[in-house]
Amino acid sequence: MRDRAGFKVPAHAVTTRNLGAAYPLVAEAGLGHRGVLIGHDLLGGSFVYDPFELYASGVVSNPNMIVFGQIGRGKSSLLKTYLWRQAVFGRRAWVVDPKGEYAALAELWGVRPVALRPGGTIRLNPLDPVAPGRAGLVPDDPARRQCELLASLASACLNRPLLPRERAAADLALVSTRSGGVVPTLPAVVAALLDPAEESASRIRTERARLLEDGRDVALELRRLVDGDLRGMFDGPTTEGLDLSGPLVVLDLSALYASGALGVLMACATAWLQAALTREGGPSSHAFLVVDEAWAILANLGVARWLQASWKLSRAHGVANVAALHRLSDLTSVGAAGSEQVGLAEGLLSDSETLVIYAQPPGEVAKAAELLSLSGTEVELVPQLARGVALWKVGRRSFLVRHVVGATERALVDTDRAMAGR
């Protein structure tokens, strides 16, 4: 190497251990080498990431992740390859797949996706019980979680928050269907709402006829999932013989993608997966619960609230939640500043210490800068990111990462076939 005057000077050699100190603010020390390789850190080196390792070493205080990105930027590709690479460490993955694009991943793993169709042969009961989490981590009451889920589904179907008397009627109906250790189902809850027990009415010092009136609207809306256009998927005990022992479980909801009730259906599917995962995996095994196209759930305040509450409890079960959203404003679009929706977005973000941000329109980034703690440079940078390149915010640190897709992984991630005319 020669200096400007043309004299020969020795090249500067430095170990990777000291590189960060030699070039502060230029060379990041990275997140260590424990985890799966994601790709290249554009400021040098490779980028390795594992939420459980980072949790153990105190870099993050929760394992959850949200991936943002415009259409076709590479969100699903990242998720698919990430899960596939995690399989090396024996980590299991459960996926809610609204577009039906995880079939190739399932095939590679030797499992078949569970395909849900209205009137199909497979039923999942969203009210299946959740196993209690590891004691002491967070307060966790499985029976309460069931009530929260039912209230959220009802409020999502009604498209408004429940009135106190409606909520009480729903709670009492659920309790009455649980008596004798029976696992409640949505049809049983609807039946109990339309024919409340004397005992339920007396518990809130009211008449049976009054309780019936209080719960009538809830029952009529929930009936949609039981007898209406959405029947045959979430309206009975879970189909026996579903094999959940494999390393990957994919719920293919592509038959419902065009449904106006996609958010409610995804919430039912996610609730069932969460409950099954807590029972199957046991609190000590590490697993990923991935909700692709999660904007559909967040568009509805009722189910979004439930999703946020359930993310909080993931640590108790050793589960890392992962959600993919299109726009940063998917988190806030339904509400004005200071509204419950914005509070919910803030809650979801504080429960997700890893944010992966692919390219977004400049206006979107500027609006979300404060919510996501983006620096001025990051706000300018994000709109210019190329396909496959994302800003990773892990805890308080930021990385610019090009996700590398291996030759054998290409078939897993190719969603451009229709566009390319192949």
Residues that bind ligand ATP in the complex, under the rule CB under 6 A: 69, 71-77, 326, 387-388, 403, 405, 413-416
Taking a C-beta distance cutoff of 8 angstroms, is the pair 364, 358 a contact?
no
Strand order across the beta sheet in which 389-394 lies: 46-49, 36-41, 397-403, 389-394, 354-357, 65-68, 319-325, 287-291, 92-97, 248-252, 114-115
> Which strand (E) or helix (H) includes residue 272?
helix 262-281
Residue with Cβ nearer Mg ion (75 or 312): 75
Take residue 409 and report the two structure tokens written for it: 């992984």
71 contact choice in ligand ATP, Mg ion, none (CB below 5 to 8 Å, kind-dependent): ligand ATP
What span, in angstroms and rounded, lies between the C-alpha atoms of 347 and 352? 9
Smallest distance from the beta carbon of 354 to ligand ATP, in angstroms? 17
What span, in angstroms and rounded, lies between the C-alpha atoms of 166 and 211? 9
Residue with Cβ nearer ligand ATP (106 or 413): 413
What span, in angstroms and rounded, lies between the C-alpha atoms of 261 and 318? 30
Smallest distance from the beta carbon of 65 to ligand ATP, in angstroms? 15
User: Quick check: 177 binds Mg ion (CB under 5 A)?
Assistant: no
User: Quick check: 76 binds Mg ion (CB under 5 A)?
Assistant: yes
Smallest distance from the beta carbon of 292 to ligand ATP, in angstroms? 7
Q: Candidates 75-83, 157-165, 326-334, 369-377 — which segment interacts with Mg ion by CB under 5 A? A: 75-83
CA 311 remoteness from chain centre: 8
Which residue minimizes CB distance to Mg ion? 76
Q: Using alpha carbons, select from 347, 353, 348 the residue that is nearest to residue 394.
A: 353
Take residue 89 and report the two structure tokens written for it: 């460490």
Taking a C-beta distance cutoff of 8 angstroms, is the pair 273, 289 a contact?
yes
Residue with Cβ nearer Mg ion (76 or 398): 76
191 contact choice in ligand ATP, Mg ion, none (CB below 5 to 8 Å, kind-dependent): none
Q: Candidates 6-14, 76-84, 196-204, 329-337 — which segment interacts with Mg ion by CB under 5 A? A: 76-84
Smallest distance from the beta carbon of 404 to ligand ATP, in angstroms? 6
What phi and psi, each to the nearest 5 degrees, are found at residue 322?
A: -135, 130
Smallest distance from the beta carbon of 331 to ligand ATP, in angstroms? 16
Binding site for Mg ion (CB under 5 A): 75-76
